[in-house]
């Protein structure tokens, strides 16, 4: 039985999104040094941040960003299918029940222990979001060592092909299957963590 997540109380419409785009700049550009454009010196936004994207954003009680992820439909242009199809041995998994997880972002302004807890809450939220909305599969492109973590969370996760070296990084395509065994698997993997923060989803932020 899934409890409905605690909704962010009357947060200003775009504040959560702004906080997320700012956190993404701090993590992906400042910290990980990905080659991405910056908007207004503060935000990381790309061509996939369009009306098709869905977001799961974890906020603390003051509305500050703690973690977030972006989900993209796979029957439209997305990262794995359009930019990294060679990471898949076979056809790129796609369809109305398949989403790509992108920009999985843990805020820099927290301790390692907090970051770990927030990571687990977001992974749990992703699984519950899938179960609630009939999403059966997630895909994603991940860098090593991140993909080495994802594969041991306890959900059904397998590589889509061989890892590839690019610009000094090792990348792999991943496939995660979500079904009625997923939550139990995450519990056994020690990653299941009930939501202790506020979850803002795209449905809350729709204009």
Partner 1 sequence: MQFGLMEELTCEVAGAENDHLLHGALSHAARRMGFDHFALAYDRWSSVQDGMLVHDYPDEWAKVYVGFDLRGADPIRRAGERSMTGFAWRRQLASLITLTQGDHQMLMVGRENGIGDGFTVPRHLPGEASGSCSFVVGPEKHLPGEMFHVAEIIGAFALARARHISGVAPPKSRPVLSERQRECVLWSARGKTASEIAIILGIREVTVIRHLKIARERYDVHCRQALILCALFDGLIGFGDIFDWRRMN
Q: Is 152 in the site for partner 1 (CB under 8 A)?
A: yes
Nearer to partner 1, 41 or 91 (CB): 91
Nearer to partner 1, 12 or 190 (CB): 190
Q: Which stretch binds partner 1 (CB under 8 A): 31-39, 59-67, 68-76, 158-166?
A: 158-166
Nearer to partner 1, 25 or 99 (CB): 99
Which residue do the tokens 């060592």 mark?
A: 145
> CA angle 160-166-170, nearest 5°?
55
The binding track of 166-185 with respect to partner 1, each residue x by CB under 8 A or -, is ----x-x----x-xxx---x
Q: Is 40 in the site for partner 1 (CB under 8 A)?
A: no
Q: Looking only at Cα atoms, what is the longest distance across the chain? A: 46
Q: How far is the CB of 30 from partner 1 (least distance, A)?
A: 22
Which two structure tokens, joined as six digits, stand for 98?
């398949």
The Cβ of residue 1 has, within 10 Å, a number of other Cβ atoms equal to 2
Distance from chain centroid for Cα 124: 11
Q: Which stretch binds partner 1 (CB under 8 A): 22-30, 33-41, 53-61, 84-92?
A: 84-92
Q: How far is the CB of 185 from partner 1 (least distance, A)?
A: 4
137 within 8 A of 178, measured Cβ to Cβ:
yes
Q: Which stretch binds partner 1 (CB under 8 A): 22-30, 47-55, 103-111, 148-156?
A: 148-156
Q: How far is the CB of 156 from partner 1 (least distance, A)?
A: 5
Long-range Cβ pairs for the range 45-51 (8 Å, 24+): 45/21, 48/72, 48/77, 48/78, 48/79, 48/102, 49/21
Cα separation, 148 vs 128, in Å, equals 22
Binding region for partner 1 (CB under 8 A): 89-91, 144-145, 148, 151-163, 165, 170, 172, 177, 179-181, 185, 188-189
């Amino acid at each position: 039985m899934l409890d409905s997540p605690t909704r962010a109380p009357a947060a200003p419409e775009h504040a959560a999104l702004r906080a997320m785009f700012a956190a993404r700049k701090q993590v992906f550009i400042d910290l990980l040094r990905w080659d991405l454009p910056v908007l207004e010196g503060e935000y990381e936004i790309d061509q996939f941040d369009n009306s098709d994207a869905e977001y799961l954003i974890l906020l603390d009680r003051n509305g500050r960003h703690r973690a977030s992820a972006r989900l993209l439909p796979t029957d439209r242009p997305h990262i794995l299918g359009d930019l990294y199809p060679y990471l898949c041995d076979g056809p790129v998994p796609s369809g109305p029940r398949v989403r790509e997880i992108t920009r999985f972002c843990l805020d820099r302004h927290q301790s390692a222990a907090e970051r770990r807890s927030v990571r687990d809450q977001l992974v749990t939220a992703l699984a519950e979001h899938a179960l609630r909305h009939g999403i059966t599969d997630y895909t994603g492109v991940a860098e090593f060592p991140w993909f080495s973590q994802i594969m041991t969370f306890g959900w059904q996760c397998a590589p889509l092909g061989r890892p590839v070296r690019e610009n000094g990084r090792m990348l792999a395509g991943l496939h995660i299957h979500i079904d009625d065994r997923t939550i139990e698997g995450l519990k056994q993997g020690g990653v299941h963590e009930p939501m202790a923060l506020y979850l803002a989803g795209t449905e809350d932020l729709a204009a």
